[in-house]
Amino acid sequence: MRHYGFFRSSASYRLRIGTNLKGLAVDYVPVHLSKGGGEQFAPAFAKLNPQNLVPVLEDQGRILTQSLAILEYLDETHPEPPILPRDPAGRARVRALAQIVACDIHPIDNLRVLNYLKGELKASEEATNAWYRHWVALGLASFEALLADHPDTGRFCHGDAPTLADICLVPQVFNALRFKCPVDGYPTILRIHEACQALDAFDRARPERQPDAV
């Protein structure tokens, strides 16, 4: 199993947490993302993923893209420990939480979008940072609202074992802290983030612990 990723990509970070939780042996192949000349635009990589995005997972000759799709695939092919609950309502809750991050925060704040803002729209550094924080704040506030006082919220986002929701949340909190977004208003998120970081699977997935970290 081969993971084409980038230490700082939060979608790649999700996949690292997922494969660590599943105890899978993975070859990590760094793809250095940067504007214009980044390795994600190299023809060999574009052939693997025409979206020019990481992560890509290669498994038994299959090329898989999109982090949530890959994580669901791993949960189906390596069911233990599960990263989704068994009941449809619980699964829907976990997937919705994951998608708040994966659909409604991360893509809007992704590198290519920030580059477009600064390049094509001539947005200042300050305006770009304000953009970043705006979508983080909206997303995390609703994530927090869906966690707080919900009977299924436990030690982690859903019950007492980590799920896809935690896998998406932790890299998003990492990004929020990196961009100095205020996070004091999200006590449940912070509590769960801390519980996750105490687990080896999350700790080993941290960006600064990857071979391509700079």
Residue 129 burial by Cβ neighbours in a 10 Å radius (0-12, 13-18, 19+)? middle
Lookup result for tokens 């999109």: 66
Nearest-angstrom CA–CA distance, 38 and 81: 35
**Among positions 121, 177, 179, 180, the unique one binding a second copy when judged by CB under 8 A:** 121
Interaction mask 75-114, a second copy, x per CB under 8 A: -xx----------xx-xxx-xx-xxx-xxx-xxx----x-
Residues 148-207 that bind a second copy (CB under 8 A): none
Q: Least distance from C-beta 138 to a second copy, angstroms?
A: 8
Quick check: 1 binds a second copy (CB under 8 A)?
no
Please count the residues of the chain. 214
Measured CA to CA in angstroms, residue 155 lies from 99, 101, 151, 163, 195 at distances of 20, 19, 12, 11, 7
**Among positions 66, 115, 129, 188, the unique one binding a second copy when judged by CB under 8 A:** 66
Nearest-angstrom CA–CA distance, 154 and 157: 6
Torsion angle of the four alpha carbons 60, 206, 94, 70, in this order, in degrees rounded to the nearest 10:
-20
Quick check: 115 binds a second copy (CB under 8 A)?
no
Quick check: 120 binds a second copy (CB under 8 A)?
yes
Query: What residues make contact with a second copy under the rule CB under 8 A?
Result: 49-53, 62, 64-66, 68-70, 72-73, 76-77, 88-89, 91-93, 95-96, 98-100, 102-104, 106-108, 113, 116-117, 120-121, 123, 127, 130-131, 134, 138-139, 141-142, 145-146
